[in-house]
Every structure is written in C-alpha cells, then in structure tokens.
Amino acid sequence: MRTLFLFLLTLQLNAQSIMMSVAHKVAPSITEQYNAILAKASAESFTAPSTGQQTNQNALIAALIAADAWDYIDVMLVFANDGSGAFGRINWKTPASYLATLVNSPTWTSNVGYKSNGFSSYINTTWAPSNGVNYTQNSAGFFVGVATDAANASSSVFGTEETNNQRQLQLRPRRTGGAADGISSAINNSVVHSGTGIVTNSIGIYAGIRTASNAYTIYKDNTSIFTSSQGSSALCTRPVFVCANNLEAGPGEWDTRDVQFIIFGSGWDSTKRTAIYNALVTYLGTL
C-alpha cells in the first residue's frame, strides 16, 4: 500500500512539474525594451494601455527583436493604443529621447490614432532626419499606418523639408487633380509625383525604403507601388510633423486621416521589411 501511495505521489509531482515547465515556456516575458516604455509612461504620468494590450505591444517588440529589425529603428511612435493619446507620444526605441509634442490638440481616438483638424493641429515628432543613427542619406526608411481614407491634392501624412524643398521626407497618398489617386513622396530628395491610379484607397500600411543614392521604393501593404531613381540630398535638419508637413514657410498640408503609428530607421532589406510589416499587422489585428 505504501509503495502504491509513493508511486501515485511521484506521478502527481511529475505532472505538476511538467505543467509548471510548460506554463513557464508559454508565459511571455516582458522585454526590457517594453519595461522602459512603461517606466517612461509612469514618469510622465501618462495613462498606459490595458494589461491585455501591454502583452500585445510587448509581443510586437519581441517580434521585431527576433527578426533582427529592432536595432535598425531610430524612432517608433504607436498612436493606436487603448491607454491614452499621451502614451502615443513616447518614442518606443529610446523612451528618454524624442518625446513627441501635440500642437493645437490633434484628435486622438482610442485604438485608432491621431488626426489633424485640417487647419492647425499636428504632432511634432521632435526628430529630424539629421538626428538619424540608422537613418542615413542613402539607407533610410519609414513605416506609417493610415486608418481612414481620404483623397486630397496636398495632404501630407507626415513631412519635413528645407533648402528650397530639396531636402524632404514626406508621404502624400491618394492625391487628386491631375495626379488622381497618385502618390507623392520623398526620402531625402525633392518630392516625386507618381502617375495616376496608384492608391485608390488610403487605408493601409505604407513603407518607404531608400537603398542607394539613386533608388527608393514605396510599398503599400508590403507590395511595391512606386519606385524612383531621384538622387538623394543631405539630410533635413528640421523635425518631422505627423498629420501635416513641416514646410519651410511653416506647418501646412494638414491631413485629416487617422495615423496609427510611424517608424523611422534604416533602409531595411526585404526580409526585415517583411518582418516589420507582419509584426505590425499582427498588432493592429488585436485592436
């Protein structure tokens, strides 16, 4: 009887040990990178996302790290969260630097993002292309998520410029007029306008990748939609605005489309670009 009791006790202990081991492997650990973001939110008294969304955001970072893409990012602002618009101001890559500022109260919607009122409000990222570490003149990239559709001749999802418009970084999807449903873009160059019919719906994830002094590509939902051989110029020293363009004459080209996130970094190769895109799609799918 004693032998049977010991045998059953051993089985029970082994089962508990296996369950604890499995639970330990399955339970996600909080990355030090996401802990730093939460610490910044606490220090600034920003309302952080819900516990469930924190898990999803941590998973987003973990996926970028696993894909060896995280280290090639300079700035990452995630406006689409359920905590607060203020939380969206934090630069996830380096929370201690480039805290975005809100000008004239752009509208924030939970789990959607920010948009301009169309005449005066925008987000100042406080980061300029010349501040780039991974972002350089001939190896530069961006990702931006657009949650609502609109067609406009000159509304910029984001932008900055200087030196008589020669040093620009911007995106204007779904233009109207002579370039109906075209796209205007610049990655360290003067703006380039596409032909018509390129973007018939603004909603999606856009990426722009410059891989050489004479080559950059714009992607929508990880599919190439425009390529340019426009030569690169020196990096702009003026900060990037979101939901507007930081024109030399002052802020303008206001954009009323909801922007979910924005990322700046290196000219990611196709593997890293796809990994970033997939990680963002996974996160947005949880909202």
Domain count, the chain: 1
Euclidean distance between CA atoms 106 and 20, whole angstroms: 47
Tell me the one-letter amino acid at 109.
Answer: T
pLDDT digits (tens, 9 = 90+) for 219-237: 999 999 999 999 999 999 9
| Overall size of the chain counted in residues | 287
Q: Is residue 4 part of a domain?
A: no
Chain centroid to CA 232: 23
The structure tokens listed for 135 are 């972002």
Q: Is residue 198 part of a domain?
A: yes
Q: Is residue 17 part of a domain?
A: no
Q: Is residue 52 part of a domain?
A: no
Q: Is residue 252 part of a domain?
A: yes
- The DSSP output letter for 200 is S
**Domain region containing 156:** 72-269
The structure tokens listed for 112 are 């959607």
Residue 25 has pLDDT above 50, yes or no: no
Q: Is residue 281 part of a domain?
A: no
Q: Is residue 47 part of a domain?
A: no
- The DSSP output letter for 217 is E
Q: Considering the chain, what is the average pLDDT of its residues?
A: 91
pLDDT of residue 164: 84
Instruction: Report pTM.
Output: 0.90
Q: Is residue 171 part of a domain?
A: yes
Assign residue 254 the CATH number of its domain: 2.60.120
